Structure 1
Amino acid sequence: MESRTRPRNMTGVGRVLVVVYAILALAATGRSFVQIVLRFEHAPLAFTLSAISAAVYIIATLALIFSASRAWYLVAWAAISFELVGVLVVGVFSLIRHDLFPEETVWSWFGSGYVFVPLVLPFVGIWWLVTHRPGREVAVPESEPMERSSW
């Protein structure tokens, strides 16, 4: 049986992680766009931080997709680390300085508007980066059918 190699980030949990980041990138981008266009003057700091979070999720998504390369792997580390600090700092400030966050953002209240996914996601992303360094590959059988019993 022939086998080929595939970067580990494009299998199983890696795919799910990329999909979740992509969904969050789309949601944060849409939310920040609407907030900035319709009500920017009401909460400029909060809405600017929403736009920053959207950019971070877009960068993290791309970096995870291409993280088999050393450069993209480092970009993924930077983006996910920034995301973690952002959600923690904005989460704390949204609780203690509600006047700075009169409207909810992606990271306010630790991402409660997104079922706390923004709080959990960077920890999962960091775990993934630690366990899936570039250059590590997994052998994938060329023509092995997927077993239904494993679903």
Structure 2
Amino acid sequence: MSPIGRLLLIVAYAVLGLSAAGRSVVQISTKLAEAPVPYLVSGASAVLYVVIAAALWRGWRTAALWGTGVELVGVLAVGTLGYLVPQWWPDETVWTGYGSAYGWVPLALPIVALVVLLRARRRTEAVPE
């Protein structure tokens, strides 16, 4: 993986992690009883973003790969359930509407990260020893 691409992914995940953490801390601390599932999902997504950023920073490709896979599944599940069963989501999460409140970055970022990580993995595996 190129150093610039890696740095851009780290920054994107760190910023999204801080943003999601700020949102979820306010939601959980002030109105958790109103919509516990969405607010806890926002908190979990914040933790996941920070873990992915740290894994990318430390060079833990496998952890970053798994984290982005979990993230993509979460975004797709929450986004879809938000449309199919809207009463489960009385308020927004980071992943509601496939991340539309965040400019669909929560949907696009794991796809980009997975492509970059898988390409880097293939390149590493293809290098003869």
Q: Which residue of 2 aligns with 1:36?
A: 28
* 1:17 corresponding residue in structure 2: 9
Q: Which moved more, 1:53-62 or 1:124-133?
A: 124-133
Structure 2 gaps, min length 5: 125-129
Match of 2:79 among 81, 84, 91: 91
Partner of 2:107: 119
- Look up the match of 1:132: 120
Assess if the C-alpha contact under 8 Å between 1:87 and 1:110 holds in 2: yes
Higher helix share: 2
Give, in whole Å, the separation in 1 of the partners of 2:114 and 2:14. Answer: 16
Q: Say if 2:66 is the partner of 1:78.
A: yes
Q: Which residue of 1 aligns with 2:19?
A: 27
Residues paired across the two proteins, number: 124
> Any conservation in 2 of the 1:83–1:122 contact (CA below 8 Å)?
yes
1:12 aligned partner, one-letter code: I
* Amino acid across the alignment from 2:44: I
Higher strand share: 1
Letter in 1 for 2:96: S
Please state how far the C-alpha of 1:133 moved relative to its aligned partner.
2.9
Using structure 2 for the length normalisation, give the TM-score. Answer: 0.90
Check the 8 A contact 1:22/1:57 in 2, yes or no: yes
**After TM superposition, which residue ranges in structure 1, 4 or more long, deviate above 6 angstroms?**
none
Computing the radius of gyration from Cα coordinates, the structure with the larger value is 1
Alignment partner, residue 56 of structure 2: 64
Amino acid at match of 1:114: Y
Query: Higher relative CO (CA 8 A, sep ≥ 6), structure 1 or 2?
Result: 1
- The two structures, once aligned, show a CA RMSD in angstroms of 1.6
- Extract unaligned runs of 5+ from structure 1: 1-7, 137-151
Structure 2 letter corresponding to 1:19: V
**Normalized against structure 1, the TM-score is what?**
0.78
